[in-house]
Amino acid sequence: MGGAMKNRKALLVGCGGISGGWLRAVPRVPGLSMVGFVDLDLARAKKRAEEFGWREAFIGARLEEALDKTRPDVVFDCTVPEARWSVAQTALAAGCHVFSEKPLADSMENARRICAAARAAGRIHAVMQNRRALVPIARFRRWIESGALGRLAQLDADFVLGAHFGGFRDRMRHVLLLDMSIHHFDMARYITGANAEWVWCREWNPPGSWYDHDAAAVAVFGMNDGSIFTYRGSWCGEGLNDSWQARWRAQGERGAAAWDGEEGLRAEVVAKTGSFRSEMTPLSPPEEYDAWRKDGHAGIIQYFFRCLEEGREPETVCHENLKSLAMVFAAIRSAAEHREVSLEDVLTER
Ligand SMILES: NC(=O)c1ccc[n+]([C@@H]2O[C@H](COP(=O)([O-])OP(=O)(O)OC[C@H]3O[C@@H](n4cnc5c(N)ncnc54)[C@H](O)[C@@H]3O)[C@@H](O)[C@H]2O)c1
């Protein structure tokens, strides 16, 4: 990303599955060292520290004690959503910045509390939305942002995956919307550069489902650029599965672009009108995108620290990410109440 990085000390809280993705990235972030590992399950904290070679680091089960002993610059929160508010409150009160796993919180109320606490502490609390850090999504977005397709009319995302997790997800309510669609809704905001104004959603549990509760949903969002975002998702679909990133199609007034969620990108725009169907010409994928987006977790963590150094807010800073989380909770409310829901109402809890 250019330029020297300051030395930074980080403390990890929550040493479960996803923390490995963060810890693999740490050695690729210049100047970053891990000073502490905290987990309610001490054995997990110890295991992570050993596995990744941070043998001098503090190991503990209590965040307050770890903060006091190690004085980190930033806390990486890889705990579960229910712990998010308490981790944020404690870390921000100790003067740390927080970089957290998704989702921002387990409720809109707790998410708003986190935003208020970060503002009061004058610290950054941001969310890891790693699906923004992929070269194909950056290129797909650029087609729209550059105006190559004309004004955006519609963005569609399809996500069907037969995910046999076992464990807590099989018992969880709103499992698709809460645990997965947060990524796709956040991606829609990134791709369009717009925010949702209203949503209509329906959730259901497909026949033969191995989940206790609804694992599929359709949603239609009205975006504040006048476009419509449609979403069809299922974690309970065997066959013809989509990418984890979902499959995307953007329709503009002069052309369309498609992204298969992996490396496949294509777009075409009108070359000549006058006959029943216009003549189209293909576009090659845009070359310009932010360099950090090609480096997964390491790129995102470097971007986070670069923002701190430059006194800028990262694009997934809590009060921005709140707008992605609100799409999830508005969709859940719409499905429960069988009506269209205003995002403003969910953001301000009316
Ligand atoms: N970005 C992604 O692609 C992605 C992928 C998987 C998981 N996640 C998210 O990461 C988070 C963690 O998921 P996971 O799969 O690693 O779960 P996990 O259950 O494997 O790990 C969570 C860990 O946090 C610990 N913990 C819980 N509350 C704590 C507290 N108050 N203090 C200290 N430790 C605490 C648990 O003991 C456990 O070790 C979730 O929010 C999940 O949605 C994100």
Q: Using one digit for the tens of pLDDT, what is the confidence trace for 99-138?
A: 999 999 999 999 999 999 999 999 999 999 999 999 999 9
Q: Which atom of ligand 1 is nearest to the CA of 38?
A: 33
Phi-psi region of 327 (alpha: psi -120 to 50; beta: other; left: phi over 0): alpha
- 116 CA to middle of ligand 1, Å? 23
Pocket lining: 38 vs ligand 1, CB cutoff 6 Å: yes
Span 251-287, pLDDT tens digits: 999 999 999 999 999 999 999 999 999 999 999 999 9
Sheet with 8-13, side-by-side order of all strands: 58-60, 32-38, 8-13, 74-77, 97-100, 125-127
- Residue 224: the pLDDT is 98
- 38 CA to middle of ligand 1, Å? 12
Pairing of strands 32-38, 97-100: unpaired
Q: What is the mean pLDDT of residues 296-312?
A: 95
- Residue 349: the pLDDT is 85
pLDDT tier at 4, thresholds 50, 70, 90: low
Pocket lining: 80 vs ligand 1, CB cutoff 6 Å: yes
Testing ligand 1's pocket by substitution, the residue of 44, 47, 79 carrying the most ligand atoms inside 8 A of its CB is: 79
Pocket lining: 79 vs ligand 1, CB cutoff 6 Å: yes
Report, at the CATH architecture level, how domain 8-127 is classified: 3-Layer(aba) Sandwich (3.40)
- Does domain 131-291+325-344 fall under CATH 3.50.30.30? My reply is no
Token pair 């809109």: residue:
108
- Residue 3: the pLDDT is 53
pTM of this structure: 0.96
The CATH 3.30.360.10 domain(s) of the chain lie at 131-291+325-344
Pocket lining: 101 vs ligand 1, CB cutoff 6 Å: yes
Token pair 């001098």: residue:
56
Q: Which atom of ligand 1 is nearest to the CA of 130?
A: 1
- Residue 68: the pLDDT is 98
- Residue 196: the pLDDT is 98
Span 7-65, pLDDT tens digits: 999 999 999 999 999 999 999 999 999 999 999 999 999 999 999 999 999 999 999 99
- 102 CA to middle of ligand 1, Å? 9
Residue among 215, 217, 220 at smallest CA distance from 203: 217
pLDDT tier at 1, thresholds 50, 70, 90: very low
Pocket lining: 242 vs ligand 1, CB cutoff 6 Å: no
Q: What is the mean pLDDT of residues 331-348?
A: 98
Span 163-222, pLDDT tens digits: 999 988 999 999 999 999 999 999 999 999 999 999 999 999 999 999 999 999 999 999
pLDDT tier at 288, thresholds 50, 70, 90: confident
- Sequential DSSP letters for 281-318: EEEPPP----GGGGSHHHHHHHHHHHHHHHT---TTBH
Pocket lining: 77 vs ligand 1, CB cutoff 6 Å: no
- Asked if the model's pLDDT at residue 240 lies above 80, the reply is yes
Pocket lining: 332 vs ligand 1, CB cutoff 6 Å: no
Q: What residue owns the CA closest to ligand 1's atom 19?
A: 16
Between CA 218 and CA 158 the distance in angstroms is 9
The CATH 3.40.50.720 domain(s) of the chain lie at 8-127
